[in-house]
DNA sequence: CTACTTGCAAACTGTTTGCAGTATA
DNA sequence: TATACTGCAAACAGTTTGCAAGTAG
């Protein structure tokens, strides 16, 4: 086996996730497969897998999240529900670098806003209030 | 007085900083003006000032940094010296949003790379090695 | 008098690490 | 048999908070 049983299951869990879970959530999901797995093991392996390029780490102030999609793409975090979504609607090809003082290794673009669901809920809440 | 003495001095310190210091560094700098100021006060006031739009907070995994420049601009962190620099060399005007599902509130672009100084030092180190 | 602010210490959160035991090549 | 990995608990770093005392309007 290439990877330890635990590492395999952690990778599998991230690959099966369509959201962008943090270590804690991943730990809870992996526990369904390995009930006694420790959070430290999850952290250690997420670090390993991210460094190895198997998964992508996204930095957030309230904890890093992980992404099965490893090619460069943008993310948007909903300020209301705090969920993170892929955001492929920004044309990165047109980015113009006027300067080359830096040896650029990576670029990360993170947006914040309100997702469709929360926009809808806001409208409904507002209507409910009005009717009263 | 609009702001407390401590708050004034903290703001002043950030406005006088040409780098992008974190709370700890700002605390050390403010201590030169108010020797017994506590780190908690610095944190509380940085939060206040950032929420109030007096200064800008930049999220980093190893701790938030603060910027006297509050208009939207990009940052680049040097992977070698860990310093953060303003990066105004990206033409943000040309960013094309193909989608408007989200109600976008903010966009932050963070680059990583090697700064001029560290590129230079790398070359010198390499030459030194070769000469041996 | 009231609301706000401070310094201090303790608490909190996400993450890492030391260790002794276990699994793997 | 040597190396890598695990679970556990303790440690760690950045940040926040409860509190009693102090300050400003």
Which of B 15-74 lie inside 8 A of A, CB atoms?
A: 59-61, 64
Strands (E), B22-102: 56-58, 65-67, 74-78, 84-87
Are residues A57 and A66 in contact, defined by beta-carbon separation less than 8 angstroms? yes
Query: Rounded CA gap, B1 and B72, in Å?
Result: 29
B46/D23 CA-to-C1' distance in Å: 20
| Closest residue on chain A to B64 (Cα) | A61
Question: Which residue among A61, A76, A101 sits closest to B102, beta carbon to beta carbon?
Answer: A76
Asked if A116 lies within 8 A of B101 by C-beta distance, the reply is yes
Mean pLDDT by 10 residues, chain B (132 residues): 91 97 97 96 98 95 95 91 90 68 90 93 77 46
**Per-position pLDDT tens, chain A of length 132:** 689 999 999 999 999 999 999 999 999 999 999 999 999 999 999 999 999 999 999 999 999 999 999 988 899 999 999 999 999 877 666 666 666 789 998 889 999 999 999 999 988 877 766 554
Asked if B116 lies within 8 A of A101 by C-beta distance, the reply is yes
Distance (Å) from the C-alpha of residue B61 to the closest C-alpha of chain A? 6
Closest CA to A66 of A127, A19, A113: A19
CATH fit for domain B5-126, picks 1.10.357.10, 1.10.10.10, 1.10.3210.10, 2.40.110.10: 1.10.10.10
Tell me what pLDDT residue B101 has.
Answer: 87
Distance (Å) from the C-alpha of residue B120 to the closest C-alpha of chain A? 11
A51, A78, A96, A102, best to mutate vs chain B, most B CBs in 10 Å: A102
Asked if A102 lies within 8 A of B111 by C-beta distance, the reply is yes
- B104 close to A (CB below 8 A): yes
Take residue B63 and report the two structure tokens written for it.
Answer: 């701790």
B38/C8 CA-to-C1' distance in Å: 8
| Distance, C-alpha B103 to centroid of its chain | 26
Q: Which bases of strand D sit closer than 7 A to a protein CB?
A: 4-10, 13-18, 24-25
Take residue A121 and report the two structure tokens written for it.
Answer: 């809920």
Tell me what pLDDT residue A115 has.
Answer: 94
Q: Which bases of strand C sit closer than 7 A to a protein CB?
A: 5-10, 13-18, 23-25
- Burial of residue B3 (number of CB atoms within 10 Å: 0-12, 13-18, 19+): middle
Residue in this structure with the two tokens 């002043």, named with its chain if needed = B12
Tell me what pLDDT residue B118 has.
Answer: 94
Tell me what pLDDT residue B129 has.
Answer: 64
Tell me what pLDDT residue B90 has.
Answer: 76
- Residue at minimal CA–C1' distance from D15? B43
Are residues B79 and B115 in contact, defined by beta-carbon separation less than 8 angstroms? no
């Amino acid at each position: 086996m290439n990877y330890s049983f635990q590492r395999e299951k952690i990778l599998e869990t991230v690959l099966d996730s369509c959201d962008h879970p943090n270590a804690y959530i991943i730990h809870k999901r992996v526990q369904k497969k390995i009930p006694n797995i420790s959070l430290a093991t999850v952290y250690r392996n997420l670090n390993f897998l991210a460094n190895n390029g198997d998964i992508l780490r996204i930095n957030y102030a309230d904890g890093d999240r992980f992404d099965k999609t490893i090619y460069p793409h943008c993310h948007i975090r909903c300020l209301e529900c705090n969920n993170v979504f892929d955001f492929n609607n920004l044309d990165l090809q047109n980015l113009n670098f006027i300067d080359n003082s830096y040896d650029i290794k990576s670029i990360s673009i993170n947006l914040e806003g309100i997702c469709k669901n929360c926009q809808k809920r806001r409208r409904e809440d507002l209507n409910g209030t009005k009717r009263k």
